[in-house]
């Protein structure tokens, strides 16, 4: 018998996820800072509901200052579109092997320093 519970909802900025209407997420998967910024402009032009920053794709993931600058510039370009930062492990389909310690340190750094809306911590 199918569970009749209502789906859970998550608010991210002005958007509600898990409701009746599907939302569009544009993942940013480029490797270099310049390419990520160009991809961000393309994403914004498509007016998605949320933009996912796939930090596991970045060839600069271990450079905290470059990463933080990327997050700030991405936030500036996206205006009020909610951002979701993910750094998937290679076991989750990530683009490269990123040590769990690097991911943890990166997330803590971004949480303290960045104007992000949400961070995926799975």
Q: Taking 70 as the threshold, does the pLDDT of residue 6 lie above it?
A: no
Residue located via tokens 């092997």: 97
For residue 13, tell me if it sits in a domain: no
For residue 60, tell me if it sits in a domain: yes
Structural domain boundaries, residue 41:
23-119
Cα 61 to chain centroid, rounded: 13
Please compute the mean of the pLDDT values over residues 90-115 and round it to a whole number: 80
Q: Taking 50 as the threshold, does the pLDDT of residue 93 lie above it?
A: yes
For residue 10, tell me if it sits in a domain: no
Order of all β-strands in the sheet with 25-28: 25-28, 50-54, 83-86, 118-119
**CATH code at position 61:** 3.20.20.70
Report d(CA 119, CA 122) in Å as an integer. Answer: 9
Domain count, the chain: 1
Comparing 80 with 16, the larger pLDDT belongs to 80
Please compute the mean of the pLDDT values over residues 10-25 and round it to a whole number: 70
Report d(CA 53, CA 40) in Å as an integer. Answer: 9
For 42, phi and psi rounded to 5 degrees?
-65, -45
Query: Over the stretch 27-45, which tens digit does the pLDDT of each residue have?
Result: 999 999 999 999 999 999 9
- Which spans in 7-114 are helix H? 33-45, 64-78, 100-113
Q: Taking 70 as the threshold, does the pLDDT of residue 94 lie above it?
A: yes
Cβ atoms of 60 and 33 within 8 Å: the answer is: yes
For residue 120, give the nearest of 50, 36, 60 by alpha carbon: 50
Q: Tell me the whole-structure pTM to 2 decimals.
A: 0.76
The pLDDT of residue 118 is 55
Q: Indicate the DSSP class of residue 4.
A: -
Q: Taking 80 as the threshold, does the pLDDT of residue 109 lie above it?
A: no
Q: Chain-wide mean pLDDT for the chain?
A: 81
Residue located via tokens 């270099």: 32
């Amino acid at each position: 018998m199918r569970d009749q519970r209502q789906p859970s909802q998550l608010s991210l900025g002005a958007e509600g996820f898990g409701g009746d209407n599907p939302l569009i997420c544009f993942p940013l998967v480029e490797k270099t800072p310049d390419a990520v910024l160009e991809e961000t402009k393309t994403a914004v032009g498509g007016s998605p509901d949320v933009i996912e920053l796939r930090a596991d794709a970045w060839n600069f993931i271990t450079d905290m200052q470059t990463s933080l600058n990327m997050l700030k510039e991405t936030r500036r370009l996206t205006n009020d579109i909610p951002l979701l930062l993910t750094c998937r492990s290679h076991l989750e389909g990530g683009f490269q092997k990123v040590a769990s310690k690097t991911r943890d340190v990166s997330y803590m750094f971004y949480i303290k320093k960045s104007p992000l809306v949400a961070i995926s911590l799975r």
